[in-house]
Structure 1
């Protein structure tokens, strides 16, 4: 039987521009049915049919951004904070290539993202047509799914809703990859680019999405983990965030496991705002692990025999190398990806931490996890070391009236009201937060730790603020801010409350901790690593209509952040520091902790 030449009555006689408009409107309608709420649109001509369709739908929030790279990270921030895919739309050519850094970060962090690139039609390829590049598989293996449906044709209208449904499902990790991440649709359009949408191909009844994925419950029952945990004398949890999971969910699972087992739990930076204090049955939340484990005697006294890793690895190299060298039996738990950078893991649980909680409780059959044979006083030793380290931090920082970088990270986290989001940059800010931030509750901490780059940090914070509607702070270094300066374009007009706390040491402060600082050191080090930029960040902020506040001393940092967030809008808090002094204060903090906790 010949195929129906008009599978969707009423479309066959449309002009090509009207078919394109209907195609785009159908995709947008289906995405909204499936839960899409936000789209970042970067101006351009070839993307006109999709831009108009997105702008015309009353349930899509549009965020226009002049810079495609920053716009992509804004969309990433929307997905990172909400768990829902957001769209970033660009025109063709190098504009599409600008999305690559954010796509890579979304891939490695398992953040849902829908990257839409407009493209020229096939007849304009390889003939020197302007703004035309090869966009086929532009992002390589970094996407969960790539599809180029070609120039829209009425004959394919019956497939449009399925295309939209699959693209969103793949981004959410409900497709073949079974892991959230970026999806790339390369959409070719012919001129003329402005058309009128006809009645759309019908969708499912009652506004239901075309594709509904039924999840299969994860289980880890029947594994060999139960005896491993039961026999542990010195058990330890190292809790990072689970890619694709909200930090609060991972924190809740970590606390339940730690409380049931009576094991200490070491936190990465992104759980600093979700987990604090002492849990039930003597579990201990440890925020000062990096400083504690720098002292060889303390590190040896706290050596574990079983380590349960939840989610992504922590930022601290000290913690990671200590665990790898400890000889402990390592269990790595995570639903997405292979997280074993030290290649020392003995067991892998391919499920979220919450599934492990449910499974181990079922094995026990009594509503708790297991009855471990934990060594007497094990948790108490960690609790004492943590208390001593936190007191040492307070004492050292109290002796510095001037602003310090560790003190800034500690003060910013402490200053935030419950319900605030904190986006923290890679490089030194995320380390300072993980090393010195006192664990607390009520703050969602986000960071781009998939690729660990400083790309798009402020744009990510803009996206997070748009997604949550909550006050948002961003702790970032000066180089990272300059790297993403276009995030400030129109930021003041986006209706968000965002305070950017920028640590300005006029260069790459993290490199001062590396051997290159002394060898070769001197002018060569400054030229290649220190890289002073000499930019007055106050002038940069003013160019975008933003107010900058500069705390004169350490005691003013927290109040400045609180006041800025209370005032609303987009503001900058500039914290001026010195790179050499920063190395010295880190050393002072570590020495003080070692003296406070070293076994006698």
Structure 2
């Protein structure tokens, strides 16, 4: 067995022994040793391999698998710009706390800086985003080096899942491979290297992995956290956003909760929470004296203003914060059970009922935003046990503002850096992992995304005939452009002359034709009453349900809903 083949087989073997069950691969020449090793592990049933032709798509597929499963998922690629295309997913993983392993093949160091083809300086390629970066030495001999290679993989997995360092996130492992890159004896086994018996057993008795890398990572981050120095009897609002993979499920009960849809607290949150925070800022509702922060909220400016209010004490729950904390956070720790004043809680409860009724009436009016009506209808129509991934931009906001929180769903979103990159691929990975976690039970996956989001990741719809196929329905609100910009400052009437070309970005793409060319099942829904029937297809593969809409009048429609809410509280 030649050295590069031996090294790749040991690396993949140790990944499996450290709990890796899924891996993503892109074709290439320099990463050929990894390709053969991953294919061999897949054929033996030791992991499930997913092959993609586009590195950016592959990285987000791995991100989706890791986001839903909580396990480290490697994405392996060749050298050069192939490695650079992993960067967007690495950034999302860094800020969302997702255990993504970027496994990049490289040229040997003696070829770097010599004009060699497909050669860039890969160590440091992802800046400070990785929790850990390892650049392995070139394998110069096949036997006698297993321990070092295994230790590097074990450390990488341990850091990625948060067992070492305490914060799940991306890890970059750069592997320079020297020629020959092809296996000289495809039937050779690791035992032929002669030193595998010297590696210690894991905690569960399986040979090969270091004890501190065993999956899963510790989940109770509050166990050693200090108690928070807050007053549990003050008017307190729990504000919840997304949490890192493996974070604890929730804070103590006893206070109103305003949660974003991808928060584990959303099922028990106030439906109209974002609207009520706005009302409190306008003086229509008594605001909180303190906020208990659970995770990292990113959606609403009203929440950002609340967290920045120096009259409000802000505390964070240990173990649920992402890569960054608002500067207003006074302490991070373990909260007590909250006992806010009953009359204050009653005011918020009464306002919740008033605003909810007003919201339902406003959404039934002609001219109400299609996106908000779709969000409310979709959440109601999804079957119990389903996965829902929400696209950044308007979809996640529409669900937050209009839908009624419910149990029975797993809701995810790429809100680490909130880009629309790779959302189709993230949805695919999450749906595949969701079905695996269901253990044979029906567990369909859905995504609510916009037209620009699906166009940005069309290669995410390209699945080879031998690839694992998800049960995934993409619900696409198609308003032929960037609808969210209509709601921001640049959508104001005074900017109309430049808006449509540089912000609205109309595209005239027919999604039915795109789906036909890619072999994706397609259905169009012009009336939302037909949505439940359109969602009924269950089975292997990706389906796209298009809901046409218009951006014309979107700003005015949102303003009308906001006015109805304010009138209900006046």
What TM-score do you get using the length of structure 1 for normalisation? Answer: 0.85
Structure 2 vs 1, CA of residues 337 and 266 (structure 1 numbering), >3 Å: closer, same or farther?
closer
Answer 1 or 2: which has greater helix percent.
Answer: 1
Q: Please tell me whether residue 54 in structure 1 is matched to residue 54 in structure 2.
A: no
* Residue 340 of structure 1: aligned partner: 325
Distance 1:520 1:222, change over 3 A: closer
Distance 1:299 1:63, change over 3 A: farther
The partner residue of 1:230 within 209, 232, 237 is 232
Unaligned runs of at least 5 residues, structure 2: 436-442
Task: Give the match for residue 211 of structure 1.
Answer: 210
Question: After the TM superposition, which residues 242-281 of structure 1 pair with which residues of structure 2 at under 5 Å, given as runs?
Answer: 242-245=243-246, 249-250=248-249, 253-254=250-251, 257-258=252-253, 262-271=254-263, 275-276=266-267
Q: What is the Cα deviation at residue 32 of structure 1?
A: 1.0
**Alpha-carbon displacement from aligned partner over 1:361-406 (angstroms, at most 9, x marks no partner):** xxxxxxxx36x3x323222222221122222222222234988100
Task: Give 1:521 shift.
Answer: 2.0
**How big is the shift at 1:229?**
2.5
Q: Greater CA deviation, 457-466 or 154-163?
A: 154-163
Residues 467, 348 of structure 1: CA spacing in aligned structure 2 closer, same or farther, 3 A cutoff? same
Q: Do the aligned partners of 2:469 and 2:541 also contact (CA within 8 Å) in 1?
A: yes
* CA distance, structure 1, for counterparts of residue 433 and residue 221 of structure 2: 28
Matched, 1:392 2:358: yes
Matched-pair contact (CA < 8 Å) for 1:309–1:330: yes
Aligned to 2:289: 305
Unaligned runs of 5+ in 1: 1-13, 278-284, 350-355, 361-368
1:553 alignment partner in structure 2: 527
Pick which of 75-84 and 375-384 moved more.
375-384
Cα distance between partner residues in 2 of 1:442 and 1:28: 36
Give the number of equivalent residue pairs. Answer: 541
Q: Deviations over 1:321-375 (max 9, x none)?
A: 134337221112242556433x2222222xxxxxx36xx4xxxxxxxx36x3x32
Tell me the alpha carbon deviations over residues 77-115 of structure 1, each in whole angstroms, 9 at most, x when there is no partner: 000000001110111111111000000101111100111
Are 1:94 and 2:101 an aligned pair?
no
SS at match of 1:348: strand
**Residue in structure 1 matching 2:20, options 36, 59, 66:** 36
Contact kept, 8 Å, 2:376 with 2:399, in 1: the verdict is: yes
**Aligned equivalents of 1:122, 1:567: Cα separation in 2:** 48
Within the alignment, does 1:159 sit opposite 2:148 as a pair?
Answer: yes
- Given the superposition, is the C-alpha separation of residues 326 and 586 from structure 1 closer, same or farther in structure 2, using an over 3 Å criterion? farther
Q: Does 1:413 align with 2:405?
A: no
Instruction: Determine if the alignment matches structure 1 residue 578 to structure 2 residue 562.
Output: no
Change (3 A) 1:338 1:526: same
- 1:24, 1:299 → 2: CA distance? 63
Q: 1:403–1:576: 8 Å Cα contact kept in structure 2?
A: no
Given that 1:238 and 1:267 are in contact with CA atoms closer than 8 Å, whether structure 2 keeps it comes out as yes
Deviation string, structure 1 residues 157-199 (Cα, Å, up to 9, x no partner): 3312111211111111122x32111111111112221113443
Between the aligned partners of 1:61 and 1:338, the Cα distance in structure 2 is 30
8 Å Cα contact 1:293/1:299 also seen in 2: no
SS in 2 for 1:141: coil
Change (3 A) 1:297 1:113: closer
User: Which residue of 404, 417, 428 maps to 1:451?
Assistant: 417
Distance 1:529 1:222, change over 3 A: closer
> Is residue 429 from structure 1 mapped to residue 395 from structure 2 by the alignment?
yes
Q: Distance in 2 between matches of 1:522 and 1:476?
A: 26
- CA contact 1:292–1:298 (8 Å) conserved in 2: no
**Cα gap change, 1:331/1:66 in structure 2, threshold over 3 Å: closer, same or farther?**
same
- Equivalents in 2 of 1:181, 1:297: separation in Å? 35
Q: Give CA deviations for 1:449-484 in whole Å, capped at 9, x if unaligned.
A: 111111111100011011121311011111111111
| Conserved? CA contact 1:92–1:132, under 8 Å | yes
- How far apart are 1:294 and its partner, in Å? 3.4
Question: Do the aligned residues in 2 keep the contact of 1:548 with 1:573 (CA within 8 Å)?
Answer: yes
Question: Match of 2:375, SS?
Answer: helix
Question: Contact between 1:403 and 1:575, CA under 8 Å: does it hold in 2?
Answer: no
How far apart are 1:207 and its partner, in Å? 1.5
Please list, as runs of the form range in 1=range in 2, the aligned pairs for 1:301-380 lying within 5 A after superposition: 301-325=285-309, 327-335=311-319, 336-337=321-322, 339-341=324-326, 343-349=327-333, 356=334, 360=336, 369=337, 372=339, 374-380=340-346
The CA deviation at 1:306 is: 1.5
Out of 159, 165, 168, the position equivalent to 2:157 is 168
Give CA-to-partner distance per residue, 1:3-50, whole Å, 9 cap, x none.
Answer: xxxxxxxxxxx5xxx222121111211111111001111111111101
Q: Indicate how the Cα distance of structure 1 residues 299 and 557 shifts in structure 2: closer, same or farther if over 3 A, else same.
A: farther
Q: Secondary structure at the match of 2:212?
A: coil
In structure 2, relative to structure 1, the CA distance for the partners of 1:167 and 1:224 (3 Å cut) is closer
